[in-house]
Structure 1
């Protein structure tokens, strides 16, 4: 039974009429109207170490490992339903990676 319907009446009850909600102002309007002095002060200072900077620059370098043609071939195979997953290869790689991480961790202690 729907709310507002009486089981005795044959016709459903009319829904209440609500006034239309006012649309919120766009954020651009409210941000522009807000004074610049109202911005909160920074709560913490952050410094990036030289090792982090080095890692970030190495991660951003283009070493040619991205193969767009291979990505296109795989995407086409997936869309055609011809892509197959080799579960054994994935399992082997996961085990190898886990062993590598565990041995690296053991060497640190």
Structure 2
């Protein structure tokens, strides 16, 4: 017996029952304009507020939110030429620093 299975039965019916059970009707097809109308007017499901820390981090990137397109091009070219190398030590150091920062922030909350 597998863990999680009850001895009384399984969650899905046996193959024979599945083959003879009636199928649910398929959803009716909608036209492209109907689908576009639904997609263009989504109903908000939640209200989002940007924290002051996120605003501060966004401000550190530049006032207009731009990025360095030349740097992106250089990295892209290095990747395509097979010359791009990943500095695993720098990544590990950043991960450890971020984890320590999160743990310190959590400890200061309590």
Normalised TM-score (structure 1): 0.49
TM-score (norm 2): 0.49
